Amino acid sequence: MPTIETLPYADTQHFSRLFLDYIARNPAVQAFCRYPFSTKGIADSLADLSAQPTAYDRALLCDVLHRQYQHTAMPQAVADNIRALAQPQTMVVATAHQPNICLGPLYLVYKIAAAIRLAAQLQASFPQYRLVPVYYMGSEDHDIAEINHIHVYGKTITWQPTQGGAVGRLPTDNLSHFFDELGDVLGKGDAEQRVLDLLRRCYLDKPTLGEATRAWVNHLFGSYGLVVLDPDDTDLKRGVFSRIAQAELQGIRTTNTTTPPCRSIDYVRLTDQALHTVGYESQAHARPVNLFYLAAGSRERVETHNDEWTTADGKQHWTKAQLLDIARHETEFLSPNVILRPAYQQAILPAAAWIGGGGELAYWLQLKGVFSAFGIHYPVLVPRNSALWIDGNTAQKMERLSLSVRDIFRNVDKLVVEYVQRNSHNELNLFAQKQLLQEAFEQILERAQQIDPTLQSSVVGEMTKLTKSVEVLEAKLLRAEKRNFETAVAQIRAIKGKLFPNGTLQERHDNMLPYYIKHEQQFIATLINNFEPLDAQFSIFWA
């Protein structure tokens, strides 16, 4: 078992001010939420959900889930949770992400682990409810460059799909080469081959990336009862999204009959103005129409110009009546963008809490007005857990170099300078000499002013030049001494490069496979057993 410690998020210097203010429960940020980020907030969210038992089509949800799991072995814990979702006292802890190949960077695994952990904690705190963790697959996203590669052992392995469009629909017919390349990178050990064979079964035996992702996630998390939902579903679109899509085209009609219908962009703009007033930037951009048109191999933005409705590529044209007819009867051809996707998710799922990253949290904070206008439950926003894994070899190097956990989050150049200054037997700082120069020039300046006041600027100029010359010499001394510590300096840079690839957090770059190969299911168990979603601390795992 790894040793675990935590750090305040602010100490990592990798998170936005909005995120830090949110986890600090700053009232200026909490004003954009319906519930506070706390156990009390979740209790209130659960109570409000319980008070509207007919707000969700639970029978439809369960039917869709049973159909979607038809070709995936369903663990008993998943079957029990799907069955429980039919009951009005069953609520959800949801998280969402697009189906990256092999789950992409670590943070998707962290999201799911946090959702499972929070659902278990809430189940213990609120036994009158049943809490189910759900991974809402962002299968309708179409940014293929974001989902088609992984980083493993410093190598990038990329898949080139044979078509475009919604990523969950991408065929897996040409993935064999990807896994051949992955096998070369992973190596030929027994553990590596066992995991590679499992991945091949999950991905190559399924026709689409969405179904393959369900199989892999189900293998990793199914024993914990995690339910995977794909919203790109005809029955869900017609039964749930149709109302949202029609309102987006016609304007949302509130209970106030004197107020004209507004589109989601109007509510978002009001919130954006309020965010800017208190010093925060908007994360997501609302459009006049926040819908895409889905077709075979494409997902194109819907636009309107002078009462003409088209796709952004100009290939589809409709009258408003024709597009409304699609929204009513063929909703599967429409897809929400970032502004409407959360509302669609929450219209399907009775989620008391939603778990997401800092950027996602930022755009959800823009949407309370949209949720209110649609009459959809706005959940408690829970930041996903973040973590850094430090292997034993790296930990030993850090100890030899006297680098603490807080040190490794700092700028690498400053770390190198401090290390050299701390360990050098030579005096590298010319501060005393600069002080002597300063004193000498002050005396010269005083004498020059007595003789000829116009000499002042010349004296100051010479003083500035000499001071800069001393600083140049100081930098040369430091560079020369760095060469004497070449091995240690290289180790410091290597540690930073390994733990912060490309200067970013490990979780935003590295894939989970090296950790899973080493620890197998213990890796997943460690995350779930040690994450504290409501504590909002950065986790360090010394493995």
Q: What is the pLDDT of residues 308-351, one digit of tens each?
A: 999 999 999 999 999 999 999 999 999 999 999 999 999 999 99
- Burial string for 252-282 (b: 16+ CB within 10 Å, else e) reads beeeeeeeeebbbbbbbbebbeebeeeebeb
| The model scores a pTM over 0.85 | yes
Instruction: Name the DSSP class of 105.
Output: B
With 0-12 / 13-18 / 19 or more C-beta atoms within 10 angstroms meaning exposed / middle / buried, residue 486 is exposed
Two structure tokens written together for 117: 């952990």
What was the pLDDT predicted at 456?
73
Q: What is the pLDDT of residues 229-246, one digit of tens each?
A: 999 999 999 999 999 999
What share of the chain has pLDDT > 90, as a percent?
79
Confidence band for 197, pLDDT divided at 50, 70 and 90? very high
The amino acid at residue 397 is K
Dist CA 150 CA 162 (whole Å): 18
Q: What is the pLDDT of residues 443-499, one digit of tens each?
A: 777 777 777 777 677 767 777 776 676 566 566 655 655 565 677 888 888 999 999
Confidence band for 253, pLDDT divided at 50, 70 and 90? low
Q: Chain-centre distance of CA 442, in angstroms?
A: 56
CA-closest candidate to residue 166, choices 141, 148, 146, 149: 141
What was the pLDDT predicted at 259?
58
What was the pLDDT predicted at 110?
98
What was the pLDDT predicted at 458?
75
172 or 254, greater pLDDT = 172
Of 1-5, 201-205, 324-328, 358-362, least confident by mean pLDDT is: 1-5
**CA-based R_g, the chain, Å:** 28
Confidence band for 429, pLDDT divided at 50, 70 and 90? low
Assess contact for 383 and 536: CB atoms under 8 A.
yes
Q: How far is CA 79 from CA 74, 84, 136, 528, in A?
A: 6, 9, 17, 20
Q: Is the pLDDT of residue 425 over 80?
A: no
Q: How much is the mean pLDDT over the chain?
A: 91
Q: What is the pLDDT of residues 144-156, one digit of tens each?
A: 999 999 999 999 9
What was the pLDDT predicted at 282?
93
